[in-house]
Copies of this chain bind each other. A is one copy, B any other.
Amino acid sequence: MEQRALRYEVLADELGGMIAERILRPGDRLPSVRTMAREKKLSISTVVQALRQLEERGQIEARPQSGFFVRAPTATHAAQLEPQPRPRRTRPVAVDISSRMMRVVTLNNRPDMVPLGAALPAPELLPIATLQRLYGQIGRHAKHLLDAASHAMINHPELVRQLVRHSLTWGQALAADEIVVTNSCTEALLLCLRAVTKPGDTVAVESPSYYLMLQLLEQLGLKALEIPTHPRLGLSVDALEIASRERRIAACLLVTNFNNPLCSLMPDEEKRRLAALTAERGIPVIEDDIFGELYFGPQRPWPLKSFDTTGNVMMCSSLSKTLIPSLRLGYVAAGRYHAEVLLQKTLTSGATNPVTQAVAARYLESTASDRHLRFLRRAFQKQVMQMSEAVLRYFPAGTRISQPQGGFVLWVELPAGGDGMTLFEEAAQAGIAIVPGELFSPGGHFRNCLRLNCGNPWSPRIEDAIRRLGAFAAAQPAMDRRADEPKAKVANCAAA
């Protein structure tokens, strides 16, 4: 299964790259499925899967009776070119983003903002009625509160069983005795960091990296080492290998499936290399797989955890993105760090509410869970596409956007000289929540970037917000000066 997945991905990436580099141009017809299968020595179904993926990415379209054609960008202002990763040598730096993050979160949380800030699904996408029914049933009949009180229980056994069951199709399933249930994915990450690091240690992170992860490092007095990350293929294992020879890295904190903000997806072979490298060098890995179920491709990508043969990977996740954020339920499969993580949980927040755990278990057991995930994947993929098209339409020339492989955020890179923080301030004034790029880097990178939440069904209100954001961006003085310059080959956004 895994081999086949890799083959179609290779083909899709090859064709996609040719489109991105304009070797294949809008309107060009692709070779027929049969021809490609023969020439590439691939099965028909592998080629079809590759084409379907390109279609899902919005790079090609099927025309009845004619075959597949390179899709025309819906607008000519901006180009859906992804930045290429470029080796960037960095040093570990102390993290100092809290005050900026607080300002951003505070302004974004005001009522009636257009919700393009926090990565949250729209309330109307959530299975509220199902959850209410389960709460009603479970609260009334079961003795979960008493059981938990009697046995000082951290985990509800049935929830653990369901989490294991949902991992059975991965390369390697989770083990019941490595799981610790938490109040959120963020709490799981915190417990893992506390289990394997001490203040002053260096932690390797993706660049860009989710700001709440960086804030955890700041809170624990840890230094961050930014590792170059490909906007579609994830962390550079080569760069991590070099960095780990140069200095002691106490832990890696990363997302292999749909990194937030890039929504990149690390290929299986790279995951395998990463798991082997970190095990060999004795570097514990804390993996955030919170977006793992929200894939746009044909199947659920395995987490890094599935390639780990030594218990070195702690996989953290939660139901906030796939079920409902307000449930407040996460977990970690902590491998050989389980005892230490469990103790950290006991000492800091104690158990997670057992009724909540029982409700989550019953939900994961039901068919409603899989049905809802299928619905969400379709909705998010569509919304990401609509957001992408709107940004391409309304943002100034030279703007680049990510090509999400899953998840529901879009990463936007303004032309060099653009200023994401200024754009954030203008947007906040105008009632539009966004997150400026510099929050995603402790080293001051990505100042010309921003992240957009695509968790909401498309609407005229959102389209209007994107139009206004584009106008704000086009009016930035730095942008004007560079508007006529040739497109810069920026890597992951340049440092401003």
Is A24 positioned at the interface, with any CB of B under 8 Å from its CB? no
Mask of A141-152 contacts with B, CB within 8 angstroms, 1/0: 111111011111
Which one of B134, B137, B143, B326 contacts A351 once the chains associate, using CB atoms below 8 Å?
A: B326
Contact B324 A353 (CB under 8 A): no
Which residues of chain B are near A148, meaning CB under 8 Å? 326
Q: How many copies does the complex hold?
A: 2
A356 → chain B closest CB, angstroms: 5
Mask of A103-133 contacts with B, CB within 8 angstroms, 1/0: 0011001010000001010010010100111
Is A135 positioned at the interface, with any CB of B under 8 Å from its CB? yes
Which residues of chain B are near A221, meaning CB under 8 Å? 199, 221
Interface residues in A216-231 by Cβ distance below 8 A to B read: 219, 221
Is A354 positioned at the interface, with any CB of B under 8 Å from its CB? yes
Is A101 positioned at the interface, with any CB of B under 8 Å from its CB? yes
Which residues of chain B are near A102, meaning CB under 8 Å? 343, 347
- Assuming A105-B346, A219-B348, what are 11 further A-B pairs, CB within 8 angstroms? A109-B346, A128-B145, A131-B145, A139-B140, A184-B349, A186-B349, A186-B350, A190-B348, A326-B351, A327-B353, A328-B350
23 A–B contacts, CB within 8 A, in A order: A98-B347, A105-B346, A120-B149, A120-B152, A123-B150, A126-B149, A128-B143, A133-B140, A135-B140, A136-B137, A139-B359, A140-B140, A145-B326, A149-B324, A183-B328, A184-B350, A186-B348, A186-B350, A199-B221, A325-B350, A328-B352, A353-B356, A355-B356
Top 6 closest pairs, chain A to chain B, by CB: A135-B139, A136-B140, A148-B326, A123-B150, A136-B139, A328-B353
